[in-house]
Amino acid sequence: MVKIIPTMRYRDAPAAIEWLCRAFGFQRHLVVPGQANTINHAELSLGEGMVMLGSASESESGRLVRPPGDTGGVVTHTIYVVVPDVDAHYAQARAAGAEIIIEPKDEDFGGRDYTCRDPEGHIWTFGTYDPWSSGPG
């Protein structure tokens, strides 16, 4: 079995973990603290999915990945998360202060989704479209 797990860096990883759990419903699977209020490695789960994150650093791997705030807000990827109820998830994220970029909408290819930005600028889309259960287009 192959699994893909997105990995991100945050300037304030402890605050990001708190916010991601509150706003998006993630659960702490593993959190390895570092020195001076940093996170060496964290795994946050949501259903059968997971993201890994850590504090921005000058480590060997840290030099390869930067938070959007360190790149002028530019991101080179977004994350799509399948959720059962987009509108309820949207309400939770909005109440937690997520910057909504695209309001909830029905898509031509199926499903309903919305897109937001977390406090450090990473872009997330949450939707009901599941390509694994929808079959080939």
d(CA 17, CA 110): 31
| Nearest-angstrom CA–CA distance, 36 and 114 | 35
User: DSSP code of 10?
Assistant: E
What are the structural domain ranges in the chain? 7-134
pLDDT digits over 70-81, tens only? 888 888 889 999
Residues 6+ apart with CB under 8 A from 47: none
Which band of pLDDT confidence, cut at 50, 70 and 90, is reported for residue 134?
Answer: low
| Sheet of 7-10, strands arranged across | 7-10, 49-55, 39-46, 27-33
Q: 24-69, pLDDT tens digit by residue?
A: 999 999 999 999 999 999 999 999 999 999 999 888 877 788 888 8
| pTM flag (> 0.75) | yes
Residue 89's CB is within 10 A of a number of other CB atoms, namely 23
CA-to-CA dists, residue 3 to 6, 48, 50, 51, 122, angstroms: 10, 10, 10, 11, 21
Question: Could you tell me the CATH superfamily of domain 7-134?
Answer: 2,3-Dihydroxybiphenyl 1,2-Dioxygenase, domain 1 (3.10.180.10)
